Amino acid sequence: MNNPFLNPPVLGIAAWSGTGKTTLLVKLLPLLRSQGLRVGMLKHAHHAFDIDHPGKDSYELRKAGAEQMLIASSQRWALMVESPLSDDVSLIAMLDQLNRNALDLILVEGFRHESFPKIELHRAALGKPLLFPEDDSIMAIACDAPVETDLPLLDLNAPDVIATFILNYCAQHHSPD
């Protein structure tokens, strides 16, 4: 069976809210891109969200009953799909929506309760417990204070160090087609 976390490698950024996941990712993405990686992002939201707004044609058409709404221009396109699920979406189902052939790496923000390779971010000042003791899919910890573990420790405030770790991970976990 094919590993859904290869081709391209999938790597999560897991942490409690307020730790700085998005802030770090905004710093990591240009570093990874500068090394030639084509990076896809998958972000989990815990609430209803909209990327469109009332008054916009695409919003009005979707609200009028379009189950899928694709809006396109010469610069970007977006597909909004209405999902009547009563349960949360699964990581695997969302990964299947990406054009994996056009990517070298998929970074995932969220889905921390699912089992897939992750880097845990930990900020001691938040007073939250570490995730890794309960999650054996965490493969490294990026932190701002000492942590007792055998896992690799990365400096949370050094995006270049974390980017190097991710680049090495990609090199080691890219499966040939």
Same domain, yes or no: 100 and 153: yes
Same domain, yes or no: 113 and 67: no
* Predicted local confidence at residue 36, as pLDDT: 94
The domain containing residue 116 runs over which residues? 10-44+89-173
Q: Among 24, 58, 85, where does a domain finish? A: 85
Q: Is the residue at 38 inside a domain?
A: yes
End-to-end alpha carbon distance in the chain: 13
Same domain, yes or no: 62 and 102: no
Q: Is the residue at 136 inside a domain?
A: yes
Distance CA 105, CA 167 (A): 9
Q: Is the residue at 2 inside a domain?
A: no
Same domain, yes or no: 74 and 17: no
Provide the domain count of the chain. 2
Count CB neighbours of 91 within 10 A.
21
Same domain, yes or no: 79 and 141: no
For residue 8, cis peptide bond before it (omega within 30 degrees of 0): yes
Q: Is the residue at 59 inside a domain?
A: yes
- Could you tell me the CATH number of the domain that includes residue 76? 2.20.25.120
Q: What is the pLDDT along the chain (177 residues), one digit of tens a residue?
A: 578 898 899 999 999 999 999 999 999 999 999 999 999 999 887 666 667 778 888 788 888 888 888 888 899 888 878 777 667 788 998 898 899 999 999 999 988 889 999 999 999 999 999 999 999 999 999 999 999 999 999 999 999 999 999 999 999 987 555
